[in-house]
Amino acid sequence: MRIISFAWTTPALIALAKTCTRRDWDDDYARTWHKGDFAQSWDHLPRAHGRQVGVVELTNHPVKEWTNLIPSTDWEAEGFQYLTDYGCTLHGMTPQQVWDDWHTNPRKLWVIRFKLVSVKGN
């Protein structure tokens, strides 16, 4: 089973407050993912000494979208409201700073929508 690391947003994922992620994946790689695929969710990649925290199932095929066109509903789907409520940062930035950067410095990223189907205990 493939792996998706949620290093910056693991707390939101585990709290079921994250159902979407954006990735700068290679196009050929992204096109190998499909609705219904399962992936292990990790708090960091294994090579960074991460641990598996659960399993997600893709609820849509990945699509590539410009970050300045993100729908406002994705604020919550990205887990940003949860992370803001709990004072979490994303690689030293607040969720609002990441959101604002996506809008002021647009780039095309792959959007992966999913649901958490299981949580792995410690």
| 100: pLDDT strictly greater than 70 | yes
Determine the pLDDT at residue 122. 56
* pTM of the shown model: 0.93
Domains recognised in the chain with CATH numbers: 2-119 (3.10.400.10)
How many CB atoms neighbour CB 4 within 10 A? 18
How many CB atoms neighbour CB 34 within 10 A? 10
Q: C-alpha angle with apex 86: 83 to 90, nearest 5 degrees?
A: 40
Give pLDDT tens digits for 49-93: 999 999 999 999 999 999 999 999 999 999 999 999 999 999 899
